[in-house]
Structure 1
Amino acid sequence: MRYKTLGGTGLLVSEICLGTMTFGGGGFWTAIGTLDQSVADRIVARALDAGVNFIDTADVYSAGVSEEITGRAMLNSGRKRSDIVLATKVYSQAGPGPNDRGASRGHIMDGVKASLKRLGTDYIDLYQIHGLDQVTPVEETVRALDDLVRQGHVRYVGVSNWPAWRIMKALGVAEQHGWARLATLQAYYTIAGRDLEREIAPLLEAEKLGLMVWSPLAGGLLSGKYDREGKGPQGSRRVTFDFPPVNRDRAFDCIDVMREIADARGVSVARIALAWILHQRFVMSVIIGATSPEQLDDNLAAADVRLTPEELASLDKVSALPPEYPGWMVERQGAARLPS
């Protein structure tokens, strides 16, 4: 297992992050996963044994049950709390009231207390705003996160599913006031969905934010277990919960090339899809969720795959983004360079 710094900080996290959205179930979440405590204990222990030190959850997963199971699994693993970098998120509807969601100071303060209790810990390593609040001023959100850091409840802060302009504004506000700076962005990114390369990836590199990739297999679509008509294993996630949205023609063109590489290497298509992401220089960590220890093992093995320059070139070609303004104009005009 390799480790990278958490954005521009000095904290080291594994390039594979264990996601716990499959822990719990109930209602809507049953389509994602229904793992009970015993299976979750095995998955967490196996991930830690493989060198994973980074675990990500959220208050909304299974209405808080995922956090409870995650906290107990960490305790049952026998590892020291300081050996695990624990991340969770706040934003989504956590109760019936109008203030039980969002990125307001009120909801953030209520949310962190509830998460700490469910997780059975006295601090959260990485606390993330789970979505874009278009009502709350960004200054209010950033100030609340800074207060949590100063109070010791949270050590680092990040956001998820934010556009580039909003991230940059938050960074500017933090810089202006001397508040805690965003360290990470959690975002969707796959070989079949490279949209964030247009604006977000350059921002991450310029501002030294770490990218945590969610749904790196596009909800299982890139596992190689589905055909072009969408048929897959009975009861599998994409059959019951068709998310995130994907251009299927592009996705299956990518799968065709990945399958050739996978077959030649004797590995799964999923492993190649994950390995491609891990080869991208702006990616800090890839979040993998598992419904079984066997699936976890296959995904963890992606960290050992070293794609050749030729394989990377073929994958980049089939998955290349279509031209979009202002990108095509920048390319046409050429980059400004210092005279030699």
Structure 2
Amino acid sequence: MKTRNLGASGLKISEIAYGNWLTHGSQVEADAATACVHAALEHGITTFDTADVYANTAAETVLGEALKGERREGLEIFTKVYFPTGPGAHNDHGLSRKHIRESIEGSLRRLQTDHVDLYQAHRYDYETPLEETMEAFADVVHSGKAHYIGVSEWRAEEIRAAHELARELHIPLVSNQPQYSMLWRVIEDEVVPTSRELGIGQIVWSPIAQGVLTGKYKPGEDLPAGSRATDEKGGADMIKRFLDDDVLSRVQQLVPLAEEAGLSMAQLAVAWVLQNDNVSAAIIGASRPEQVADNVGASGVVLEDELMSKVDEILGDRVERDPAKTQSPATRDFG
């Protein structure tokens, strides 16, 4: 497993991280989730990403149990704050000082650790002054409860404003966590250039486009039973944008490219995002340990320029590139 620096910081992380969105505490039973975490460790993954909102805090609990007994100094544990947790009352979400201070305590308790390596703002909060948010994050860092600060799905101008405040407050804002894949490239025109300038790295989620880039979804065929596309707990909503026969047909045309490179389709997809030098890590998820074993085969893979060009040619205008697709909820009204 190769490592990369997280942005311009000195923190090294595994270039493939393990995340438990839509799996631990919801789709996958605790024993299977623990097996996946142990498989990740066995294959050299040291970086684990979660969030308090995943399965309404249950995912953090499952991850904390699965990592119990591991050498803490050898792990990089990331979590996030913003979305509703608990009963979802008016202060149970957002990036107010109150919610951040209360949320970090809950996350640390569930993860069974006294600090996280990276604490991330899960979305931008338009109802809280950015100064209040960054000052609260500064308190978290200065109290030793987080080493670094990051954001997720923030726009370029929001990242720049937060970075300026972070420098004034002497806290390291080092990362952004956006969706990024062959099919979803909305960060490339604005977020990536800004991040490069500021020394911020991308920790990208959904590099396999919720499973579409594995090639298992075939044009004109029924959705595979038990797949994410049939999951009504959230997976189906996220993946439906890609379940178009034209998109699926183009994905099938990538299969020979993967075979020629000696890669599985999942490995090709993960390796593709890792070719971007602003990507510090690609987050994978799994419901079975063998999926972890397959995905980690992308570490260290260098794709030829010709292959990269063929990917662009095949996917063509079905790639989403609109920077405006990077967005946060306009309000904190989740009712």
Residue 284 of structure 2 is matched in structure 1 by 288
RMSD: 2.1
Q: Taking structure 1 as reference, are residues 178 and 40 closer, same or farther at Cα in structure 2, changes over 3 Å only?
A: same
Match for residue 62 of structure 1 among 38, 55, 59: 55
Larger relative contact order, structure 1 or 2 (CA cutoff 8 Å, min sep 6): 2
User: What is the total number of aligned residue pairs between the two structures?
Assistant: 315
Residue 24 of structure 1 is matched in structure 2 by 25
Give the SS at the match of 2:238.
coil
Q: Taking structure 1 as reference, are residues 34 and 100 closer, same or farther at Cα in structure 2, changes over 3 Å only?
A: same
Give the SS at the match of 2:29.
coil
Distance, in Å, in 1 between the alignment partners of 2:77 and 2:322 is: 39
Whether the 8 Å contact between 2:219 and 2:246 is mirrored in structure 1 is: no
Q: Note the C-alpha offset of 1:310.
A: 1.5
1:151 aligns with 2:175: no
Q: Note the C-alpha offset of 1:256.
A: 3.2
1:298 aligns with 2:294: yes
The one-letter code of the counterpart of 2:28 is T
Give the SS at the match of 1:67.
helix
Deviation readout 1:247-268 (Å, 9 max, x if unpaired)? 8467436513421112334542
1:35 aligns with 2:13: no
1:105 aligns with 2:100: no
Identity %, equivalent residues: 37
Q: Taking structure 1 as reference, are residues 257 and 66 closer, same or farther at Cα in structure 2, changes over 3 Å only?
A: same
Q: Note the C-alpha offset of 1:202.
A: 0.7
Give the SS at the match of 2:174.
strand
Q: Taking structure 1 as reference, are residues 278 and 253 closer, same or farther at Cα in structure 2, changes over 3 Å only?
A: farther
Q: Note the C-alpha offset of 1:105.
A: 0.7
Q: Any gaps of 5 or more consecutive residues in structure 2?
A: 324-335
Moved more, 246-255 or 39-48: 246-255
Q: Note the C-alpha offset of 1:221.
A: 1.4
Q: Taking structure 1 as reference, are residues 320 and 179 closer, same or farther at Cα in structure 2, changes over 3 Å only?
A: farther
Q: Taking structure 1 as reference, are residues 50 and 325 closer, same or farther at Cα in structure 2, changes over 3 Å only?
A: closer
Q: Taking structure 1 as reference, are residues 233 and 323 closer, same or farther at Cα in structure 2, changes over 3 Å only?
A: closer
Distance, in Å, in 2 between the alignment partners of 1:57 and 1:129 is: 12
Q: Taking structure 1 as reference, are residues 159 and 306 closer, same or farther at Cα in structure 2, changes over 3 Å only?
A: same
Match for residue 75 of structure 2 among 84, 88, 113: 84
When the two structures are superposed, what TM-score results if normalisation uses the length of structure 2?
0.88
Residue 10 of structure 2 is matched in structure 1 by 10
Distance, in Å, in 2 between the alignment partners of 1:150 and 1:198 is: 34
The one-letter code of the counterpart of 2:25 is G
Q: Taking structure 1 as reference, are residues 203 and 254 closer, same or farther at Cα in structure 2, changes over 3 Å only?
A: farther
Distance, in Å, in 1 between the alignment partners of 2:81 and 2:305 is: 40
Match for residue 120 of structure 1 among 107, 112, 116: 112
Q: Taking structure 1 as reference, are residues 147 and 324 closer, same or farther at Cα in structure 2, changes over 3 Å only?
A: closer
Give the SS at the match of 1:232.
coil
Residue 181 of structure 2 is matched in structure 1 by 190
When the two structures are superposed, what TM-score results if normalisation uses the length of structure 1?
0.87
Give the SS at the match of 1:112.
helix
Distance, in Å, in 2 between the alignment partners of 1:232 and 1:284 is: 33
Match for residue 71 of structure 1 among 64, 68, 86: 64
1:140 aligns with 2:117: no
Q: Note the C-alpha offset of 1:40.
A: 2.4
Q: Any gaps of 5 or more consecutive residues in structure 1?
A: 26-32, 327-340
Whether the 8 Å contact between 1:191 and 1:254 is mirrored in structure 2 is: no
Residue 30 of structure 1 is matched in structure 2 by none
* Max Rg structure: 1
